[in-house]
Structure 1
Amino acid sequence: MLYALQTLPGLGELAWLEAQRRLGGDDGQPPKLVGMRAVPGRNDLVLFDHRGGPRPLLTLRTSEDAFVVAARGFKVAPDARGLRQIHAAVYHSDTAEAAVKLWRRASGFRPQGVSFRVIARTVGTQKFMRRDVGRAVADAVKDGWPGRWTLVEDDADLEIWATLVEHELFCTLRLSDASMRQRSKTYHLPASLRPALAAAMVGLTDPEVDDVFLDPMAGAGTILVERAAAGKFAEIHGGDISGEALRAMQENLHGVRGEIYVSRWDARKLPLDDASVDKVAVNLPFGKQVSEEAKLPGLYREVLAELVRVVRPGGRVVVLTGDYRLLETARNSAARRLRPGPRHRVIVLGHAATICEFTRGD
């Protein structure tokens, strides 16, 4: 069956890597990538064939939503003909019934009658509006799909997402609810990371069971929560200079099991021994909400120098920054032992940002 994962802009490849690693079909075969699409500035979509059931998709952490594909359309015209093509693709879909059964399986929904709403999105230069796409899809569902279907505006049993990317239509049934996107985090602070982004950063550290893991500027603790969820570890250390952040961190980590230590500290003077940390993931301030831009160059230099001190040779450091050039300048000045690796461009709260991978050299 064809499924789709939705995540933050720039995280599509990392979401697919997690899906490959964690999903196995009923026959033991891994999922197969069909393609990636983007809704610019909004989401990345990962389309893949998966022979297993839908529930494992809901445990993926680098994605924010999971869908099963009920219908596809190709070579959709940009004018009124396109709306007729969309209606026909959804009406005549030979996978819609199977997709609905999988949605029922994932959601536990029993009644035969289903209320639904359509969320339509368009990418391209179509001459029709998003609402026209939504109306075409809704009419096709009511007219052509088996069962009783009632279109509503809110509180629907099922969300049908119709995404038209240039000339290609994806009509998908949402399997996930808000908990996949929001997780269980209770307290949010300015500049707090979305859990999917934090999970992606943690994944890039290559988690191992004997990790001593650090987030030196942990804010509300999202990265720490995601590292705990990624698997076994030896120790997790996190801290922040803000007392409010420390309280949020403690609340968000309440009930998370393991050797987890949180403190109020200055990331430029960590109370940790030399070469005592295996893995680091950190969201450096962008200068938009939590720091003045004029102070960022010195802050970046001092934090990177401290990471070089506490991370063991061969250790992994993953950094999110809103200014890659500033980060590179700081690394060249104060932390040349951090050897640069791959970079990943993402969008964070509407701002372009970069996830940078480093390895601590000898």
Structure 2
Amino acid sequence: MHTFAVARAVHGIEPLVAAEIRRSRLGVVRGVRHREVWFEAPPGADLLGLRTADDVLLAAAVVDGIGHDRSALRRLAGAARELDPGWVAGGGGGGLEVSASFVGRRNYTRFEIEDAVGAELARPSRVPYHSRSDGGRPPLGAMAWRVTIEGDQAVIAVRVADRPLHRRAYKAASIRGTLHPPVAAAMAHLAQLDSAQLGGDRLDGDRLGSARTVLDPCCGAGTTLVEARAVAGSARTRFLGFDLDPAALAAATANAAHPDFGRSPFAWTMADGGRLPVDAGSVDRVLVNPPWGRQVPPAGLLARGLGPLWREVRRVLAPGGLAVALVHGEIPDGFAVEETVEVSLSGQHPLIAVLRPR
């Protein structure tokens, strides 16, 4: 019997999540909504293997006729009341919590949705419901439920794992400005690092050869390259990370040491993003999240602008190579744009840009 699942995503990369589900044969995509992909998964599918998703949940109910007035609360409570108690019975002794969100204006709040659904979910099994309405935080171990509303349709779903997918097991260390892991994974997919698995999907894996060397000139805590390693799945690929901050390099080294990655294909080196110690034309892919100037100010040769960085990216790329960058503002000069994906991050709307040197 197939499972109705919901993958949560950063806004903007929902189509990439859907493409990953198809490529990985995790199921049949049934719908793409704001920050969600609905799909049917076959028995035994590794739902926790999704790299581009923030989280994955099992849908317990889809509720139609959810309007903008407060009668929607009664309808949602009724749907939760009708669920099989078995959905909650196996959740353990930590009780349950509910997180809600909706698109557009409503005459009720997210907390009212959470309390209407949470109270009914908890009632049959007599487990504690941990409300957020008074500013409280649910305890660790509470069964995590989610309610999302778009248009007149809501889904009530429960998290598959004990924590969201975006909280990666390898994240032993972090620094300010660390890139959100699913966005880094989306960049790796756009760089066609999984070209051997792509077949006939939306990214044409036949255009590029295998990536032998992948470079990040502003690597920070290493998130982009670690996600690239997970996506690439090739022991033959080298991953080169450069940064001027010793603390960043220490964090990257710690994160890349996770046992999942086996023998380390990573090399972390202190260097200026405007003067990389790499031969011209020696890199197949560049993945880069340049310093925004908000959490992480540009330093070294980049302190007066990112021009030196883009010159170095063009210099090190091999013929036919590809760069995927998180761009704030205008696309850098000297590149042809193959694709852009606008995402929502920290209140900003940067582009993930797929670039080829001219």
* C-alpha contact 2:242 2:268 (8 A) present in aligned 1: yes
Q: Which residue of the partner structure matches residue 172 of structure 2?
A: 186
Q: Which residue of the partner structure matches residue 66 of structure 2?
A: 76
* Higher deviation after alignment, 206-215 or 217-226: 206-215
Give matches, 1:250-269, under 5 Å: 250-255=253-258, 256=261, 257-269=263-275
* C-alpha contact 1:210 1:234 (8 A) present in aligned 2: yes
Structure 2: 5+ residue stretches without partners: 131-137, 196-209
Question: Given the superposition, is the C-alpha separation of residues 141 and 275 from structure 1 closer, same or farther in structure 2, using an over 3 Å criterion?
Answer: same
> How far is the alpha carbon of 1:180 from its aligned partner?
2.1
> How far is the alpha carbon of 1:70 from its aligned partner?
0.4
Is 1:37 paired with 2:33? yes
- Other structure's SS at 1:151 match: coil
- What is the TM-score with the length of structure 2 in the denominator? 0.82
Give matches, 1:310-329, under 5 Å: 310-323=316-329, 325=330, 328=331
* C-alpha contact 2:211 2:285 (8 A) present in aligned 1: no
> How far is the alpha carbon of 1:114 from its aligned partner?
7.8
Structure 1: 5+ residue stretches without partners: 25-30, 39-43
Q: Per-residue displacement from partner, 1:204-248 (whole Å, max 9, x unpaired)?
A: 111155521110110111111112212114211111122222222
- Other structure's SS at 2:185 match: helix
In structure 2, what is the Cα distance between the partners aligned to 1:360 and 1:292? 23
> How far is the alpha carbon of 1:347 from its aligned partner?
1.7
Is 1:131 paired with 2:111? yes
Q: Which residue of the partner structure matches residue 63 of structure 1?
A: 53
Is 1:341 paired with 2:329? no
Q: Which 4+ stretches in 1 moved above 4 angstroms?
A: 295-298
Give matches, 1:283-362, under 5 Å: 283-291=289-297, 299-323=305-329, 325=330, 328=331, 330-331=332-333, 336=334, 338-361=335-358
- Other structure's SS at 1:299 match: coil
Is 1:9 paired with 2:11? yes
Q: Which residue of the partner structure matches residue 159 of structure 2?
A: 174
- Other structure's SS at 1:47 match: strand
In structure 2, what is the Cα distance between the partners aligned to 1:245 and 1:8? 24
* C-alpha contact 2:60 2:157 (8 A) present in aligned 1: yes
- Other structure's SS at 1:348 match: coil
In structure 1, what is the Cα distance between the partners aligned to 2:39 and 2:60? 13
**2:192 aligned to which of 200, 206, 214:** 206
Q: Which residue of the partner structure matches residue 47 of structure 1?
A: 38
Aligned AA (1:192): T
What is the alpha-carbon root mean square deviation over aligned residues?
A: 2.6
Aligned AA (2:39): F
In structure 2, what is the Cα distance between the partners aligned to 1:245 and 1:198? 16
User: Structure 1 or 2: larger helix share?
Assistant: 1
- Other structure's SS at 1:90 match: helix
> How far is the alpha carbon of 1:9 from its aligned partner?
2.1
In structure 1, what is the Cα distance between the partners aligned to 2:322 and 2:12? 21
* C-alpha contact 2:144 2:158 (8 A) present in aligned 1: yes
**What percent identity do the matched residue pairs reach?**
26
Is 1:148 paired with 2:125? yes
Q: Per-residue displacement from partner, 1:319-343 (whole Å, max 9, x unpaired)?
A: 00222x1xx3x41xxxx2x321110
Question: Given the superposition, is the C-alpha separation of residues 304 and 289 from structure 1 closer, same or farther in structure 2, using an over 3 Å criterion?
Answer: same
In structure 2, what is the Cα distance between the partners aligned to 1:161 and 1:342? 33
Question: Given the superposition, is the C-alpha separation of residues 276 and 292 from structure 1 closer, same or farther in structure 2, using an over 3 Å criterion?
Answer: closer
- What is the TM-score with the length of structure 1 in the denominator? 0.82
- Other structure's SS at 1:319 match: strand
Aligned AA (1:6): R
> How far is the alpha carbon of 1:14 from its aligned partner?
1.4
In structure 1, what is the Cα distance between the partners aligned to 2:184 and 2:289? 9
Q: Per-residue displacement from partner, 1:245-292 (whole Å, max 9, x unpaired)?
A: 222222222244243211101121111112111111000121213226
Q: Which residue of the partner structure matches residue 229 of structure 2?
A: 228
Give matches, 1:16-31, under 5 Å: 16-24=18-26, 31=27
Is 1:160 paired with 2:160? no
> How far is the alpha carbon of 1:157 from its aligned partner?
4.1
* C-alpha contact 1:65 1:181 (8 A) present in aligned 2: yes
> How far is the alpha carbon of 1:296 from its aligned partner?
6.3
Aligned AA (2:219): A
Question: How many equivalent residue pairs?
Answer: 326
Aligned AA (2:104): G
In structure 2, what is the Cα distance between the partners aligned to 1:274 and 1:227? 22
Is 1:218 paired with 2:197? no
- Other structure's SS at 1:352 match: coil
> How far is the alpha carbon of 1:142 from its aligned partner?
4.4
Q: Which residue of the partner structure matches residue 122 of structure 1?
A: 102
Q: Per-residue displacement from partner, 1:65-120 (whole Å, max 9, x unpaired)?
A: 11010011112132232222222333335xx578x39x96xxxx6x6x78322222
> How far is the alpha carbon of 1:139 from its aligned partner?
4.0
In structure 2, what is the Cα distance between the partners aligned to 1:282 and 1:291? 15
